[in-house]
């Protein structure tokens, strides 16, 4: 019978696909993905050939209707994103809610997510954490957000785009000069790295080198 399967996929290292994810993808009638080229590459790597439909912020409403109708007709739809867990700073929430609203079955195939890998490898407290998704793109908005979170005692975790990291470090230094922070870079990949220290210490580690790659920014909570 029809079902939506939310399938986590690797965040860099293809060995991180789970056995269950592979089975669900093999059994799916259709795979809904962000980018058909990107996901086509992933599926080919595992010798899986399936019809792919793309969904993204601009067609999510229409695709949600189509995919929900397909599930109602008995088809198995696997939902994946470009990397990691769908719905976590990735599209997918809308179709998940629509399937729930329609009373149709849904299952989660858990797996990699950059925030969890970054948090556990950071060495910062995992007892309580705050995940803020992507940081705002403008420096003034980032400082504003950081200032609002100054008193929070949980470990603060954010996604950041590689080309803004230098300016993000400036903002961290302004608002959290004495806090321990961690940049978790290129997780699960060849150049995986955890840079730890105060914002100034972390910056010094990258002096003269460009800070490339995908990154999670973590800030120790207030004492």
What residue ranges bind ligand SAM (CB under 6 A)?
11-12, 81, 83-85, 88-90, 113-115, 159-161, 184-189, 214-216
Taking the complex as a whole, the smallest distance from the CB of residue 113 to ligand SAM amounts, in Å, to 3
d(CA 70, CA 54): 15
Residue 176 CB, shortest distance to ligand SAM, in Å, is 18
Q: Which residue's CB is nearer to ligand SAM, number 84 or number 199?
A: 84
CB of 193 to ligand SAM, least distance (A): 9
Which residue lies nearer to ligand SAM by CB, 153 or 161?
A: 161
Give the Cα separation of 209 and 41 in Å (integer).
Answer: 31
Task: Output 67 or 183, the one with its CB closest to ligand SAM.
Answer: 183
Q: Residue 116 CB, nearest distance to ligand SAM (Å)?
A: 8
Q: Measured from the CB atom, is 30 or 218 closer to ligand SAM?
A: 218
CB proximity list for 98: less than 8 A, separation 6 or greater: 64, 65, 68
Least separation in angstroms between residue 143's CB and ligand SAM is 19
Q: Which is nearer to ligand SAM, 132 or 197 (CB)?
A: 132
């Amino acid at each position: 019978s029809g079902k939506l399967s939310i399938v986590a996929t690797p965040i860099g290292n293809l060995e991180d696909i789970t056995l269950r994810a592979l089975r669900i993808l093999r059994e799916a009638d259709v795979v809904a993905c962000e980018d058909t080229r990107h996901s086509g590459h992933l599926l080919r790597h595992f010798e899986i050939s399936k019809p792919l439909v793309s969904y993204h912020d601009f067609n999510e409403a229409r695709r949600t209707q189509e995919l929900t109708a397909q599930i109602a007709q008995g088809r198995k739809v696997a939902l994946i994103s470009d990397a990691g867990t769908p719905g976590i700073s990735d599209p997918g929430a809308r179709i998940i809610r629509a399937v729930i609203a329609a009373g149709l079955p849904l299952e989660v195939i858990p797996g990699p997510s950059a925030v969890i890998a970054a948090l556990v490898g950071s060495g910062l407290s995992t007892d309580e954490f705050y995940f803020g998704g992507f940081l705002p793109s403008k420096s003034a908005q980032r400082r504003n957000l950081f200032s609002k979170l100054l008193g929070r005692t949980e470990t603060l975790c954010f996604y950041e785009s590689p080309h803004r990291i230098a300016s993000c470090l400036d903002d961290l230094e302004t608002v959290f000069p004495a806090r321990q922070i961690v940049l978790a870079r290129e997780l699960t990949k060849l150049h995986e790295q955890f840079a730890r220290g105060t914002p100034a210490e972390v910056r010094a580690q990258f002096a003269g080198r460009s800070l490339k790659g995908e990154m999670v920014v973590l800030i120790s909570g207030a004492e």
